[in-house]
Amino acid sequence: MTPKAFDVIVCGSLHLDIMVQSPHLPRRDETAVGSAWGMKCGGKGGNQAVMAARMGASTAMIGRVGKDDFGRRLLDHLTAARVDISGVSVDETAGSGMSVAIVEATGEYGAVIVSGSNLAIDPASIASQWEALAGARILILQHEIPEAANIAAARAAKAAGAYVVLNAAPARGMARELLDLVDLLVVNRVEAEMLSGAPVTDAESAIRAMPALGGGRKDVVITLGGEGLVVRTRDGEPVVIAPHRVTVISTHGAGDCFLGMLCADLAQGKSLLEACRAANSAAAAFVSMTEEAQREVTRATLQARIG
């Protein structure tokens, strides 16, 4: 097999997040009084690319930003994390993607996104971008860009022998063609329930839902937040991985931390179970950190917290 230039290529979203600290999520017609706000570079694609790079994977990004201040911030953030941005195009008309996230005192949060330039990614250009980057061992996709772009990226990756990972978030239906191109499907409870049509509340119900998600034909991971996760390789039985008990400060970005560590370890040849155990530990450590610590997180700092 021809050597790949990168361990991981992420094709996905880039958003500039506005983070608002609030005692609680506002109810309808309520104006809650917040205590602080700040900016954070995000988008599931950008977050996962940064986390994969910080976990030691050579990483590149395929995406699109606007020709605006948000876009410059997003590109600078990727570059600072040593993510290759040669596959990120700049849109002359559409603004950069952005979101507003309200974070409760408990660490839970809710968010609204405006996709902007992310919706203008050209599926026809993705194969040439993959080739220009000289490929990767692993492709990571999410549901924050058009499905046609995901399908184009998955086709290019599969043709080059890469392992395709889809984090099917946020929850939405998907074409059979995309699902058939995916090697590893990673979903949380909400996404698993939507895609399987069965309630998913705990490990037992997650195991029951796995056949409807492709379990037995592809690798499947269902994350359960503070209850751990369930893993099923395509040729194995479901395995429950228990959670680490930590004091939660903020859950924002935990799923992206999990995906970054997972794919970095898969790219280094670890088994799916080994990679999931490491990613589970990393996500637990991540949610126990302050936002300041999260912004500077590395593999070493995560491992030091869990041991």
DSSP assigned state of 279: H
Closest CA to 273 of 304, 225, 229, 209: 229
pLDDT in tens, 225-280: 889 999 999 999 999 999 998 999 988 789 999 999 999 999 999 999 999 999 99
**Mean pLDDT value of segment 82-101:** 96
Closest CA to 141 of 186, 94, 203, 98: 186
Q: Is residue 221 part of a domain?
A: no
pLDDT value at 168 more than 90: yes
Q: Is residue 239 part of a domain?
A: no
**Mean pLDDT value of segment 104-132:** 91
Alpha helices by DSSP H, listed for 63-202, are 69-80, 123-133, 147-159, 176-181, 189-196
Q: Is residue 222 part of a domain?
A: no
Distance CA 171, CA 98 (A): 18
Q: Is residue 138 part of a domain?
A: yes
pLDDT value at 117 more than 70: yes
Q: Which residue has the tokens 């994977």?
A: 57
**Mean pLDDT value of segment 93-104:** 93
pTM above 0.85, yes or no: yes
What's the pLDDT band for 108 if we cut at 50, 70, 90?
Answer: confident
Q: Quick one: pLDDT at residue 2? A: 55
Q: Is residue 213 part of a domain?
A: no
Helix then strand then coil, % of the chain, to nearest 5: 40, 25, 35
Phi, psi of 239 (to 5 degrees): -125, 130
Distance CA 12, CA 150 (A): 8
What's the pLDDT band for 157 if we cut at 50, 70, 90?
Answer: very high
The tokens describing 53, both together, are 């790079």
Element containing residue 15 per DSSP (H, E)? strand 15-21
| Measured CA distances, 119 to 11, 77, 113, 143, 291 (Å) | 13, 21, 12, 11, 29
The tokens describing 282, both together, are 């990393």
Distance CA 167, CA 191 (A): 9
Residues that are catalytic: 256
End-to-end CA distance of the chain: 36
Q: Is residue 142 part of a domain?
A: yes
Q: Is residue 203 part of a domain?
A: no
Q: What CATH number does residue 10 fall under?
A: 3.40.1190.20
Q: Quick one: pLDDT at residue 1? A: 44
Distance CA 263, CA 272 (A): 9
Q: Quick one: pLDDT at residue 276? A: 98
Higher pLDDT, 291 or 38: 38
Contact between residue 172 and residue 143 where contact means Cβ atoms under 8 Å apart:
yes
pLDDT in tens, 183-212: 999 999 999 999 999 999 999 999 999 999
Share the mean pLDDT of the chain: 94
Domain span at residue 16 reads 6-25+33-182+244-306
Q: Is residue 143 part of a domain?
A: yes
**Structural domain total, the chain:** 1
| Measured CA distances, 273 to 125, 140, 153 (Å) | 34, 18, 26
